[in-house]
Amino acid sequence: MRAVRLWIKKEGRAKYISHLDMNRCFTRAVRRAGLALWYTEGFNPHPYLNFLTPLSLGQESDGEPLDIRIEDDMTDAQILRRMNDVLPEGITVVRVHDAVTKPAQIAFARYSIGIELPTAAAAQAFCEKARALLLRGELTAEKTGKQGKRKVVKQVRICDKVQSAAFRTEGQCVLLDAVLQAGGEPLNPALLTDALQKAIGTDGLVRIRRREFLTADMQSFS
């Protein structure tokens, strides 16, 4: 048995495929691709597929790690080609290699975020106010979670989970390169943008793309 890590690009209309449907998609795809998957043991055996960090609905990514286990000597190149032959539009396997690095080493994720505002002046003002909010460490948000079977609303200190944030403008669009906590209790970038827009009083169109994962010492996770 060999543990293999697939890196999956998700973009275009595919960003509206939920995490649950991504699991279903890849369960079917590996079978259609003819991969000799290792199956879990127990009463209800199923193929081992593990998305290390689920991507939120509506967000794109340059590479999402998916770990599988195979029971033959198929090469990485063969796996990549066979998978891409059967995957739907907007979902592409971009890399395949042995899964050596432990998932627990993921500490941060880098995102490219765009917020489209009505005017260039509004975009510039947003950048200035957003920088000030993060610098003061005052940004918070409410997040719905579960406590047992009950739904609870928690206060999240956004700034504690932002490793870095670089703002710039391009016309009427705010462009943000952000490194956010991805290990432990990760910060969803949509929570960051929602909190910023609420605090500043804007309502722009947001686009989010996950670029890469980083370890605690800020090295690229692979």
pLDDT tens column, 174-211: 999 999 999 988 999 999 999 999 999 999 999 999 99
Report the C-alpha gap between 38 and 3 in whole angstroms.
9
User: Which residues touch 56 (CB under 8 Å, ≥6 apart)?
Assistant: 188, 190, 208
Lowest mean pLDDT segment, chosen from 23-27, 72-76, 177-181: 72-76
Question: For the residues 78-85, what does the mean pLDDT come to?
Answer: 96
pLDDT at residue 145 in the model = 67
The whole-model pTM stands at 0.91
CATH 3.10.150.10: does it fit domain 105-214?
Answer: no
Identify which of 180, 177, 189, 191 has the alpha carbon closest to the alpha carbon of residue 143: 191
pLDDT at residue 147 in the model = 67
Strands, E, within the chain: which ranges?
A: 2-10, 49-51, 60-70, 91-98, 108-116, 140-147, 150-157, 162-170, 173-181, 205-214
Q: Where in the chain is the domain with CATH 3.30.70.3190?
A: 105-214
pLDDT at residue 103 in the model = 93
Q: Report domain 2-100's class.
A: alpha beta
